[in-house]
Chains A and B, each alone.
Chain A
Amino acid sequence: MIEEEAVSLPDAATRPMTMIEAINDALHLMMARDPDVVIMGEDVGYFGGVFRATAGLQGKFGKNRVFDTPINECGIIGAAVGMAAYGLRPVPEIQFADYIYPGYDQLVSEAARLRYRSGGEFTAPITVRSPFGGGIFGGQTHSQSPEALFTHVAGLKTVIPSTPHDAKGLLIAAIEDNDPVIFFEPKRIYNGPFDGYYDRPARSWKGHAGGQVPEGYYSIPLGKARTVREGSALTVLSYGTMIHVAEAVCAEKGVDADIIDLRTLVPIDAEAVEKSVEKTGKCLVIHEATRTSGFGAELVALVQERCFYHLEAPVERVTGFDTPYPHSLEWAYFPGPVRIGEAIDRLMKD
């Protein structure tokens, strides 16, 4: 794993963590460092969150700083905006990204525009954490990947980690950032990487390089991609769970791929994308979200505009289908090894 961009403490001891543990560690650390950090959301307090991301925080920092909320996403985000206007640094949780829509007006019309419309008088340094993505038999309302609804909004930053190491460093950076950040956590890889082979035994983060997480404080700058694997035959642009699927399929196909984990979708690391595509001349974009007007369309446009004369083949997109996320046919929907493999074959055929 190449970690040139990570501001890790070079000599810090690391320990194996799951993504949930890494997120929990980042929250513990930021609450201790900054008395203005407060955590709020449904079931995040006494219970520690339905995914255990906030476990132990209320006991340590008290109910004034970590508290349960009514089941009202508009209220959660709206109150967080007001708290930020006061001077706090709220980290609200939306239990599933599928349920972020009641808070959407507060995010789009308020949090995203507060700094702009007030000429900088008021800001919204909030980090909205929310589990997203499929692969867990979550059906229609526990599987969605709504990142494109946020990347389209000026004033928001959208961040998606793919390893425990990145999750901790990016979450710390997101909380410290003075702009509103949507922090989507791929829940399929909370407890271990997932390569798309749903019929094989689940893996844990143990033994994965990305599961080694430095102790203490470090941050990974927003807006910087990570090179997962260096190669010269094909550029793969992806994020979240799909990074691991892409890695597995490229290895299986024996393709010398340059795999870029975007990590931050807005602002995007265009330089990393350009550098890679200029080197390889071929590009494959992969995401779980539905295809039409998905974030992949933006990536394809960016590559087409900036790397046109380097391209040796049309840019390919592998995504979820343009349907609601189904339950029983989950693995027919999920952009798994077969769909990715076909695209790679098309790209590599000459």
Chain B
Amino acid sequence: MKAFNHLRIFNFPQLKFLFKRPLSIAATEPQFIGIKSKFTNVLKFINSDSYETIPIYRILSSPITNNIHHNSLVELDKEKLLKMYRDMIRISVMDKILYESQRQGRISFYMTNTGEEALQIGSASALSPNDVIYGQYREAGVLMWRGYQFNQFLNQCYGNCNDSGKGKQMPVHYGCKELNFTTISSPLGTQMPQASGAAYALKLTKRNACVVCYFGEGGASEGDAHPALNFAATLDCPIIFICRNNGYAISTPANEQYRGDGIAARGPAYGIQTVRVDGNDILAMHHATKIARDYCIDNGKPVLIEAMTYRLSHHSTSDDSTAYRSTEEINQWIHQSPIVKFREYLKTVGLWDDKKESELHKSTLKEFMAEFTAAEKLSKPHWKELFTDVYHDMPAHIKKQMLTMEDHLKVYGQHYPLKEFQSN
């Protein structure tokens, strides 16, 4: 009754009328829309310390033993395990040479995948080729697993006449219609709501497939990440969001990116099935993705996987990461790299040895260098490709601009690098 007296000081006659009736009884009390909660008389604020942090799922842990993989629910045959390892090596060899080639000014830009090979190939190997990929830019391993060839990677980086993207985008902005890998674009986070829409389309058109959307923990701070997760949940989209939490967004460490329990903690807040996985453990990534895919397709709902890893390399060729992190920190992770871990495992189960290792390196390097030389020799596409594909059909005003350029080149052609480009 004290509260009532307190209210009367405002002297609202309407309120007096209201309080003649009992305030509420459970049976007639209206329910808040959109919340399933009990009342409490205890005033308590909740924060990320109010509950335990989400654990990191892993299979490969030290010391690596023979039977760990058999304890998990997913069985992998020998051939698949070896392809997984080979593709990790292929990615790392390609990264090494293309990184160097950028340093020599042969390509304009590059971003390596070092340290994230397991995350990429582990997840890719658990998918069906019909599953549609939306990536950020550090997912070359996914393409590698799907069969993208060295020359395709190279043609894109060189922007030569065999690049399916016609030389229009910066290096590492790969895309392949046949392999269901949506072309990469630079703006961060934009692929995320697109991926949700694509997943809705797969469900609507009853294709037995899901979408997999990769993004970094930095990209997860973008505005687009929020509707992507929220739309996927409210509109029941079969999509796996895979966050590559590698500790850095260029120079910004993850603890300047967020203050909650990483990205995974956001999943349940959107009503999304969520798991945190050791991204350096290829078997754990494979297993988690496989189970996530089954769930997605059976239930038509999203899953969020936060894959914990470490960006071993610089952010890109335009970045020197020692300006903001110590070499000690980097060295710690080099000895725990996903390739080292998986190699140890393969050796333990008798599938790999040092001889095979050096042979694989040698043959991969040889194969890559041959393609590298070939790609470098190819000319760039015809300059007129600059004007194509803006629209499905070229509108009159763009046609006119193309003709203007053509006339210009007739007179001033010697001032342009026409020799490097294809001609009619």
Partners in one complex: no
